[in-house]
Structure 1
Amino acid sequence: MIMNPDPRASVDQVAVVDAQTIRRATTAATLGNVAEWYDFGIYSYLAAIALDRVFFPDAGEWAAVFTLGTFAAAFLVRPLGGLILGPLGDRIGRTRVLSATVLLMAMATALLGLVPSYGAIGIAAPLIVLFIRMLQGFSAGGEYTGALTLVAEYAPDRRRGFLGSWLEFGTLVGYTLGAGICTILVAVLPADDLLTWGWRLPFMLAIPVGITGIYLRMRLEETPAFRQLIERSPAMATMSLRRVFQILVNHYRSAALIAGGLIVAWNVTNYVLTNYVPTYLAGTLPAYGKSGTSEALSTTLQVTVMLAMLCVIVFVGKLSDRIGRKPILITGSVSLLLLGLPSVWLLRAGLTGQVLGLLIMGFALLCFAAVTPSTLPALFPTFIRYGSLAIIFNFFVSVFAGTAPTVIGVAVTTTGNLDWPGYYLIGAGAIGLVSAFFLKESAGQPLAGAAPLTSSADLPAPKLSKDGVPLENPPARPRR
């Protein structure tokens, strides 16, 4: 029998987690995220450098669109991955599922590096790439929301924003690592070597990165919130997918819509910046007679913006623990509304303009990336947290965000209007602003259905006797 899904489950004491365990959990989630998004992101950068010519050499001006379409194919199966892996994480635990997602992603990425070119096996080559991208999408469907859940459930209530931002630090490191390696390849390899074998190297590097992520995650214990759930009400950890949907619709409909809006605003900005802009600068603008960049410079600019974000993202996460999540989310949304289109205009204004345009997009992305990882898990209770986030996150990313680069590419190609990226950013800002307005502030509050959580490092030092022995009940100070 399913117990009452009220998130205010009875919790009558503060849970204390060892500070070293919290650091180990955050490190494992962050490094696993580095591996996952290095694997997922390198396709974005290689798409602008080589993959369109390797797998779609006869497609002409549509080659870039087909390559971006293969990228988008991964998002078609992300909801399936979320449907299966998310509820599974609520049943058997977060760490087991997260170890499996890193393993699957690393294997799929290594296989991508082994696919023969179109010139070797014809149409079979892009079809194999399509299948492998779907495997990556399935893995990603359970990865990110599981990592969100893991970090949120290990983080002390007063530092959840700070520790959650480390997750996106890992995402940025993964993307930056992929972009940096691609930049080096373009700089040191002749074009023929790059197209023949050089593009394969970044995919093969996924193997050691993935092994590291798997090792760290398999050593983790389950989160305090999940252990509390199993001890208090084991039946809640065995509910069916149908029951999860019923609870979402009946009890958490508004929370699901708020989460979906924040996910759309965040991820449209992310994929426009990291996936479409490299192609826009290196391919689209020159094709329309505008001032673009070389492939190497385009990737270098991306890396520069991401490095700038890396320098400040954890400080923004820490700031959200002080002033709240909503002010930062609203700032990012307003910046997209007012500056989304001007940032795209700046991309057509030479090198200085391109740097400014990318920094504007990067600032908006920073506001979402630093805060949303700690905001989304607070919207749902422990017994459906992983499953709910996986379903909602992957649905909204797949339908509205992951397809954005492909839709923008088609729109630009068919209409000749180069402002489409800006229109998308404005729409993302509007959706983010509405969602942030209805969001209930969660900074400093316990997660729904879990005991208040603190770190052992935040507890006062025990009083000691003259011999250095801790005093459980220290004697009262004598009166004078």
Structure 2
Amino acid sequence: MAPTAELERAPEPVLPAPPQRRAVTVTDEGAVKRAVRATALGNAMEWFDFGVYAYLAVTIGKVFFPAASGTAQVLASLAAFAAAFLVRPLGGMVFGPLGDRIGRKKILALTMIMMSAATFAIGLLPSYAAIGLAAPALLVLCRMVQGFSTGGEYGGAATFIAEYAPDKRRGFWGSFLELGTLVGYTAAAALVTGLEMGLSDDAMLSWGWRIPFLIAGPIGLVGLYLRMRLEETPAYQELAACEEHQARPKLSIRQVLAGQWRAMALCMALVAAFNVTDYVLLSYMPTYLSDTLGFAPTTGLMSIVLVMIVLMLLINRVGALSDRFGRRAVLMGGSLAFLVTSVPALLLIKVGSWPAVFAGLLVLGLALLGYVSTMSSTLPALFPTDRRYASLSISFNVSVSLFGGTTPLVVAALVSSTGNDLMPAFYMMLFAGIGLIAAHRMEETAGRPLKGSPPSVSTEAEAEALRNAPRIPTAR
């Protein structure tokens, strides 16, 4: 019997591979709210301390620098204020890379502990009359601990909210971080005003000035509790699960920042404009009104409190506008407002009546909204996820150290040396011009995914639409 020929099996048809479904993050609004609440409270704590120190600058000068007198005493107090900013870049260099390597949550908890402990310690310091030169030395040491911890605070907090928020609402949710700033400043100003109105000068110098600093202890414990309850951001969780990230060796600062120089330059320019205008209005103005223009201390503080209340009512609305019209438009609008209104606002303040003082401060506050409402959503979007905390913390704090923290001291010295009490306006205009150029040069990031992360949306329907789309928009 002839062998039968082996039947060849017909090859199976090759079917096209199913289209790959894109990764899309669906945010949980409850988780977003918890993240925003915990990070905003930490920011409020940070700026409560800085506000208290700025508003008590004259009193602190008398307690810790009694050998000086008049303007020199105020300048010495403001120099101690600026000392915290000298070490902020070091804090950014330490905490930033750690936040990218071991997680945002752990570093934010650590910075909260350090910040609240150092602030609480200031309230316990003996005066110059008790221990001499050791008193101002300990004050500067506590300020430097605060500055070091703050070096990891803002960059981490802004990163945390940005990585939790959906792309189309990042401006709105990010504005809550700066709402925390305003809450901290307002609480500081209101508390200091209440103490100055309710206590005698001797009582304030003896023990009253300590109360705002001692409050930092319990506030810090609350903030720490809230932060420890949070989960890591979705963007970082995805990054941490990546084998390449897990296997990556520890990088030097130079390696971490490689390829980020243009983004860092833009970040530093925007931060310089933001911080100079912010510190002139919220930190220096009370000293300017009392020391330079001769107003009663409570007049300036109450005016600042009312202006900040107005800003708190508007900041989230302007943040939402940046989601709709873009970050660049809002930032450029704020810069132009400072260029046009700084001098007229200070001329109004110099009129001397309370309505004129309030009107001038309010004009500057409304201009500041262009920065304060959008900065915390603009800056994290400049950097990729795997290097965001480090790049943002370092560039932010270098800029703040050079320009922001020195603002009260520099402006006070300029007014003192030139005799021109419009110097604060000219200084704000200079940096507003820098901010205008930086905002014009940056790429629009509103509504786009963060660099190195998948799109983030609010609902499963939005996610499904993006998964089925031929192309997902990404940040350039």
Same fold, judged at TM 0.5 (above): yes
1:473 alignment counterpart: none
Deviations 1:160-186 (A, max 9, x none): 000000010111101111111001101
Alignment-mate amino acid for residue 296 of structure 1: T
In structure 1, the residue matched to 2:17 is: none
Cα deviation digits, residues 322-352 of structure 1 (max 9, x gap): 1111111011000111122222222211123
Deviation at 1:459, TM superposition (A): 5.7
User: Is the aligned partner of 1:274 residue 2:282?
Assistant: yes
2:37 to 27, 31, 34: 27
1:235 and 2:238 correspond: no
8 Å contact from structure 2 (residues 271, 400) kept in 1:
yes
Partner Cα distance (1:398, 1:341) in 2: 26
1:458 is displaced (CA, Å) by: 7.0
Query: Equivalent of 1:186, from 187, 196, 202?
Result: 196
Show the counterpart of 2:91: 81
1:115 aligns with 2:125: yes
Q: Which residue pairs with 2:61 in the alignment?
A: 52
The one-letter amino acid of 2:62's match is R
Partners of 1:113 and 1:204 within 8 A in 2: yes
Which of 407, 412, 421 lines up with 2:410 in the alignment? 407
Q: Following superposition of structure 1 onto structure 2, how do residues 70-469 of structure 1 map, counting pairs within 5 Å?
A: 70-235=80-245, 238=248, 240-242=250-252, 244-246=253-255, 248-249=257-258, 251-286=259-294, 293-350=295-352, 351-456=354-459
Q: Quote the offset at 1:33 in angstroms.
A: 1.6
Deviation at residue 20 of structure 1 after TM alignment: 1.3
SS at match of 2:241: helix
Aligned partners of 1:248, 1:90: CA distance in 2, in Å? 12
Distance 1:273 1:459 in 2: 41
Query: In 1, are the aligned partners of 2:26 and 2:460 still within 8 Å (CA)?
Result: no
Identity score, percent: 47
Q: 1:70–1:129: 8 Å Cα contact kept in structure 2?
A: yes
Runs of at least 5 residues in structure 2 that lack an aligned partner in the other structure = 1-19, 465-476
Determine the C-alpha separation between the residues in 2 that align with 1:447 and 1:459.
17
Distance in 1, matches of 2:413 and 2:46, equals: 28
- In 2 relative to 1, CA 37–169 (structure 1 residues): closer, same or farther, beyond 3 Å? same
Write the distance in 1 (CA, Å) between the matches of 2:312 and 2:164. Answer: 22
Deviations 1:31-82 (A, max 9, x none): 222222212321111114x111111122113000010000000000000000
Aligned-residue offset at 1:363: 1.3
**Structure 2 CA distance, aligned partners of 1:443 and 1:185?**
43
Contact 2:256 2:390 in 1 (8 A): no
Q: What is the Cα deviation at residue 13 of structure 1?
A: 1.8
* Partner SS, residue 232 of structure 2: coil
Q: How far apart are residue 460 of structure 1 and its match?
A: 9.5
TM-score by length of 2: 0.90
Instruction: Give the aligned CA root-mean-square deviation in angstroms.
Output: 1.8
Kindly name which structure, 1 or 2, has the bigger radius of gyration based on alpha carbons: 2
How far residue 236 of structure 1 moved from its aligned partner, in angstroms, is 6.7
Give the conservation status (yes or no) of the 8 Å contact 2:92–2:397. yes
State the shift of 1:11 in Å.
Answer: 9.3
User: 1-side partners of 2:50 and 2:220: how far apart?
Assistant: 12
Aligned to 1:7: none
Q: Which letter does structure 1 place at the counterpart of 2:313?
A: C
Whole-angstrom distance in 2 between the partners of 1:161 and 1:146: 17
Cα distance change, pair 67–316 in 1 and its aligned pair in 2 (3 A): same
> 2:14: which partner in 1?
none
State the alpha-carbon separation in 1 of the partners of residues 82 and 247 from structure 2.
33
2:457 aligned counterpart, secondary structure: strand
User: Which AA in structure 2 matches 1:216?
Assistant: L
